[in-house]
């Protein structure tokens, strides 16, 4: 848990920094979260960095970017709004971040989803289920599973912000 916690905290801090620069990553995936043990430290210090800013967009004061072009990025980690060409916001990055953390924790690749839910239950369109998160890989604590599941909320405005996620992680 301590290694995952370090990845969670440092990747959130990186995302928080990016958002404070009025930028959205728009292509978070495990390959774009780099982790390496510090060569100068004997205490096993893990250093985590975000990478690959090729699809990064600056949003100015609006805190969202209208997606006018075709989808770009990695589909499996993309939030629903990116797939339907709607507004992309900081909470869109939160959705992708949660997919990355869930994959690292469980070893499972995100389930493919579609942009808009049909009449079927919304749970069928989640990239991970709470059961996946509690029973696979690291078998996460229920409070952490709840945090990750909140990040998968279909409506982006209902997802937690990076600041809220960091505060929750620090408190626990």
132 is annotated as an active-site residue: no
Closest among 74, 79, 129 to 106, alpha carbons compared: 129
Residues 6+ apart with CB under 8 A from 61: 22
Q: Please, which residues have CB within 8 angstroms of residue 74's CB and are 6 or more apart in sequence?
A: 27, 29
150, 159 in Cβ contact below 8 A?
A: yes
DSSP line for 53-120:
-TT-EE-TTSSEEE--S---S-GGG--HHHHTT-EEEHHHHHHHHHHHHHHHHH-PPPPP--SS--SS
Candidates 27, 42, 69, 132; catalytic one: 27
Return phi, psi of residue 23, to 5°: -130, 150
Catalytic residues: 27
């Amino acid at each position: 848990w301590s290694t995952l916690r370090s990845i969670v905290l440092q990747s959130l801090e990186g995302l928080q920094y990016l958002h404070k620069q009025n930028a959205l990553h728009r292509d978070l995936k495990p390959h774009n979260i780099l982790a390496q043990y510090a060569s100068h430290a004997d205490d096993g210090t893990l250093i985590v960095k975000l990478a690959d800013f090729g699809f990064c967009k600056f949003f100015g004061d609006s805190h969202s970017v209208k997606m006018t072009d075709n989808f770009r990025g990695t589909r499996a980690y993309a939030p629903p709004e990116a797939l339907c060409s709607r507004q992309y916001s900081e909470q869109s990055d939160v959705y992708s971040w949660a997919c990355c953390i869930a994959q690292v924790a469980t070893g499972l690749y995100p389930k493919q989803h579609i942009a808009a839910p049909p009449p079927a239950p919304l749970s069928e369109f989640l990239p991970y289920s709470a059961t996946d998160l509690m029973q696979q890989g690291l078998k996460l604590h229920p409070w952490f599973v709840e945090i990750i599941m909140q990040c998968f909320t279909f409506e982006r405005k209902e997802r937690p912000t990076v600041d809220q996620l960091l505060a929750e992680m620090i408190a626990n």
